[in-house]
Amino acid sequence: MKCDGVKTVFLTVKDQPAFFIDELNSDHGWWVYQGANGVSLSAAAAWFRVHLMNDTANRKYFYGPNCTFCSDSRVKVERNSLMTQ
């Protein structure tokens, strides 16, 4: 996997929410091509809004049994146990 180092860090996080998202069929500039409707920018914005601004409306993208990115066919995600709450 191209992101082995990032995945290794993700696997060590046990005391705070952690979400690993692998954008399938992407390349280094994928976030630029996709723009605001792409996974990279929308996920980053939603994550920061949830964790820096306490924006509860964006929790649906990451948390719970039916999280939005969990069923997005453009990505493969992994979450630690704190993300299922």
Containing structural domain, residue 54 = 20-75
Prediction pTM value: 0.77
Task: Over range 6-34, report the average pLDDT.
Answer: 80
Q: How many alpha carbons fall within 13 Å on the CB side of residue 1? A: 11
Q: pLDDT digit string (tens) for 45-83?
A: 899 999 999 999 999 999 998 899 999 998 999 999 888
Q: Is residue 43 part of a domain?
A: yes
pLDDT at 43: 87
C-alpha triplet 16, 50, 84: angle, nearest 5°: 50
Q: Is residue 83 part of a domain?
A: no
Rounded Cα–Cα distance for residues 33 and 39 (Å) = 11
Name the domain count of the chain. Answer: 1
